[in-house]
Chains A and B, each alone.
Chain A
Amino acid sequence: MTVPRTTVGPAQVPRHWLRMVVIWAVLSAVAVPLIVLVLGPHLPPGRMTAEAGSQRDANTVMTALLAPIVVAVLVFFVYAIVVFRERGTAIVDGPPLRGHVPMQTAWVVFTSVIVIALAAWGSYTLIVSSHGAGGGQGPDPVAVPSHRSQDLVVQVIGQQWNWTYRFPKYDDVETDHLELPDNSPIELHVTSLDVTHSFWAYQLGVKADAVPGADNVAFVHTRNDGTFNIRCAELCGLWHGHMYQTGDVVSPAAFKSWISSQQTAEAPNLRYLPPFGRTYYPAPFRRAG
């Protein structure tokens, strides 16, 4: 931006831009490594699955990318309101600057490039590299891993106010606890028996709405052993906050023994269960309370 010579002579003009760029560069040079190296390893949701890892990467990259932008805007604002504050009490008009076409163009181009690059990168992660990034994709997923036929299929059933799990490859057994083998591709089919819930396995990086009458598929590839939290992320009534469980990612051998013990324990109950289906239509709707 240029200042008309009539108001301030060029010799008196401090080098505002240089100062601001230096402040910005110093602050950004401190902030970005801190974010990548110190904050990044603590950003959610961890590296228990490939999808969780891609989400942590997304969170890290975006925080690191947005920090210099925040710093730039704030440095400008703080600098401007400190340097250009009115020191006297009289009301004096400033120079009538109306705009600066090259600067406006540069701003538009710069923000557009960042935004489109972010959208392209997010789409690439979502569709190509991360197979839906752990999010629910509906009954006909578009981002499908190549090895889908080997997936361990787990049906997640939400109801007020608990989660249960059915394993169609293991005699349709239904359990109230979730264990998964490590280093395996998993295919979660999320549905609901009453109202809309949302299956949120935090460390797995999975979130998929459980919608009555819908089969919502999410893919996840487990990596490390550990315990993960399961919560409901969509308001489902009185005990929404209590739809809380923990699950475990264990070795394949431990998973095999766990699932066979479940099959034995649940065998007497199996004949009371409805046949396995992608969705379930419960009894006609009744008003709560």
Chain B
Amino acid sequence: MTTYAAARPLRPAWRGFFGFNMFTALALGAGGWFLGAYIGGQIAVGNDYLLGTDQNDVGILLGYLFGLIGWLGGLGFFNYPISRLLGRPATVREKETGGWARYFTLCTDHKVVGIQYFFGVGIFFFIGGLNAMLMRTELLRPVEHAWPAGQYLSLMSLHGTMMIMMTSAFILGPFGNYFVPIMIGARRMAFPRIESLTFWLVPAAGLILLSAIAFGGIPTGWTGYAPLGTEGRSGMDAYIFAFLLIGLSLTLTGINLLTTILTMRAPGLTWTRLPIFVWGVLSTSILMALAAPVLIAALLMELMDRAANTSFYLASSGGSPYLYENLFWFFGHPEVYILALPGFGIVLEILPVFARKPLWGYRLAVAGMLGVTFLSFMVWQHHLFVSGINGGLRPFYMLTTELISIPTGFIFLNAMGTLWHGRIRFTVPMLFALAFFFNFLIGGLSGIFLSDVPSDVTTHGSYFVMAHFHYTIMGGLVFAFFAAVYYWLPKMTGVILNERLGRIHFWLMFVFFNLTFFPLFAAGFLDMPRRVSTYAPSLQTLNDFVSASAFVLGFSMLIFIGNLIWSLVFARIPAAENPWASRGLEWQVPTPVPVDNFEHIPVINSGPYEYGVEGAPPTATLGPVAVPAAGR
């Protein structure tokens, strides 16, 4: 092992602001924006007349493009290609040592990227949540009162887009990047620079999306349907460009994790010993690598329609809105499993640790995840059941959609078998994992209504759908995320989180999550369409109840943030190396995890869930091994 703590001359602290880091990137990004907007304004004179608009989309889009180049250049993404062109030697390491400053730079240490993701995505998730609070304020009364209709529409679209963009990387970003290499006994990801790129595209996308507020907002919700998106003001350019960056980030993340898991597993880590979380990441990566490029294609065509006067989606000039709907949902349905599958992995990873039993039906869990992965590419037209496309194919999509509940059911069976005769301890991560199953049960079964066409005719496009996907995404993914936070943060940060605050956070969040979203099923049944700022006066009591619950739900997030700040900044109680007595390989390495994770590449002796198995060898041999062990 190499030593990296080489002595360096001391520098004054302010020097840290200069060099290739986030602050330089912000400055160069802003400069790039103005340069691009100026060039765009020069080359597209008259375009605004052609499109019948007072806005120059070419200028704005070129501004974003140049701004992105400045952002990436400021972070130093072009340094390595240039140095290779100049004949300098190859290396995979960049800025892996150093203190706090490396969290603001291009760093090839997967653990730094994990922490960057945790805070970066967390900040944008918080902004998305604030949008939800503002929306619920408007919905306190059935008439327009707090925000004008256009502003509500923008808030709603920003909430949806921000949440989908950020939750796509919610678990794979922080925990996938941090723990997958450790769990498979590797020292790094397969493509460390690409890994850093996938993160740094996310704040760029988040900032660009937020800039939509300055250009007239987004009128389309997160789906960006053409031709509504084509006629939207220039805020739509921000939506398209930001979502393009997220699509790129998702594709690269998928390829990176897939390659890492396929090729970099430690000796002895057979497919049946792979932690179930890694299986969840693997199946998600397949979805990301295959589905996200379709989103990029769909958005590029919408971008052309807006800026270059093409008509892919404009019926009046020979295009078809159905093309966008098909392309978008071909990405969009795998996308919702990109959100769900990591959650499955997390909860099944956590249950055996706190039930002190092996994961019940391991192979069935793997089959369930791969089954969901496979089927999720065949169901997208259930979003188009009443759109008038392929009416004759609806029974097929009804069948495939309902079939997907079979592999999802496997996950429930695994959980039930794992709890049976366990020695269950109700730690905070366990509480969140158990709540996941309650929420996902309701969310999943409400999906059966939506998959059945006769029932879907009523519920399609209503608040029923909205309640359904909040139960699966917020009740599923976000609860799994918090389970992972409370479970793994002691390893990531080296300090323990306050348990009492954690329990208060859990109970407030669980109770008020259900009080917020369960009544919305009824709102959908009582003919309240999605995405409206005004509604029938008879539904005001229901909506007021939901809004009040939503505010408490929002408050529970503040408790979490308070806990995080208290535990990380003030209390700083050091965590034990393995506080949960877990057999997982990630808990066998020291805290804080060394830059190279392992002094020697570990040799895996047994699966990670051998609780209560007499004579089970330790999960891995971490010391030097004379002869590498055979595969099985």
Q: Which residues of A contact B (CB under 8 A)?
A: 1, 3, 43-45, 51, 54-55, 58-59, 62, 66, 69-70, 73-74, 76-77, 80-81, 84-86, 91-100, 103-104, 107-108, 111-112, 115-116, 118-119, 122-123, 125-127, 130, 132-143, 190, 194-196, 198, 200, 202, 205-209, 211-217, 229, 231-242, 279, 281-289
Contacts and interface: CB of A to CB of B under 8 A. Distances in A.
A284 B309 CA distance: 11
A209 B387 contact: yes
A229 B412 contact: no
Interface in B121-148: none
Among B219, B232, B364: residue with most chain A CB under 10 A: B219
Contacts, number: 325
A102 B135 CA distance: 50
Nearest to A45: B458
A205 B420 CA distance: 45
A95 B448 contact: no
Contacts of B613: 96
Contact of B454 (A43, A54, A209, A283): A54
B356 A94 contact: yes
Given A85-B424, A115-B405, A196-B225, A91 B356 contact: yes
Contact of A95 (B320, B357, B395, B410): B357
Nearest to B148: A238
Interface string B308-319: 000100111100
Contacts of A241: 149, 529, 531-535
A195 B426 contact: no
A62 B452 contact: yes
User: Which 10 pairs of residues, A with B, have the shortest CB-CB distance?
Assistant: A213-B315, A241-B532, A233-B461, A216-B388, A93-B612, A137-B391, A287-B53, A138-B388, A286-B52, A123-B395
Interface of B: 51-55, 149-150, 153, 216, 219-221, 223, 225, 227-228, 230-233, 311, 314-317, 320-322, 355-358, 360-364, 384-392, 394-395, 398-399, 402-403, 405-406, 409-410, 412-413, 415-417, 419-426, 434, 437-438, 441-442, 445, 448-449, 451-458, 460-462, 525-527, 529-535, 581, 610-613
Given A94-B421, A209-B388, A289-B216, A69 B316 contact: no
Given A96-B613, A98-B358, A196 B228 contact: yes
Given A98-B361, A135-B453, A200-B527, 20 more contacts: A66-B448, A74-B441, A80-B416, A84-B420, A99-B364, A107-B409, A107-B413, A115-B402, A126-B398, A133-B454, A138-B389, A198-B460, A202-B527, A207-B386, A209-B388, A212-B227, A213-B320, A231-B527, A233-B529, A241-B529
Contacts of B394: 126, 135
Contacts of B232: 288
Contacts of B387: 136, 138, 209, 211, 216
B216 to A, nearest CB: 6
Q: Of residues A70, A107, A143, which shows the largest number of chain B Cβ atoms within 10 Å of its Cβ?
A: A107
A111 B367 CA distance: 15
Contacts of B412: 73
Given A115-B402, A118-B452, A240-B532, A285 B230 contact: yes
A195 B324 CA distance: 13
A219 to B, nearest CB: 11
7 contacts: A96-B357, A119-B402, A133-B457, A135-B386, A138-B387, A195-B231, A235-B225
A240 B454 contact: no
B364 to A, nearest CB: 6
A211 B321 contact: yes
Contacts of A76: 416
A218 B91 CA distance: 63
A104 B395 contact: no
Contacts of B356: 86, 91-94
Contacts of B361: 98-100, 104
Nearest to B397: A119
B403 A44 contact: no
Contacts of B54: 289
Of A44, A76, A229, A286, the most chain B CB neighbours within 10 A belong to A44
B239 to A, nearest CB: 13
B349 to A, nearest CB: 16
Nearest to B324: A196
Nearest to A123: B395
B299 to A, nearest CB: 17
A245 B162 CA distance: 33
Contacts of B452: 58, 62, 118, 122
Contacts of A196: 225, 227-228, 321
Residue of A3, A94, A115 with most partner-chain B CB within 10 A: A94
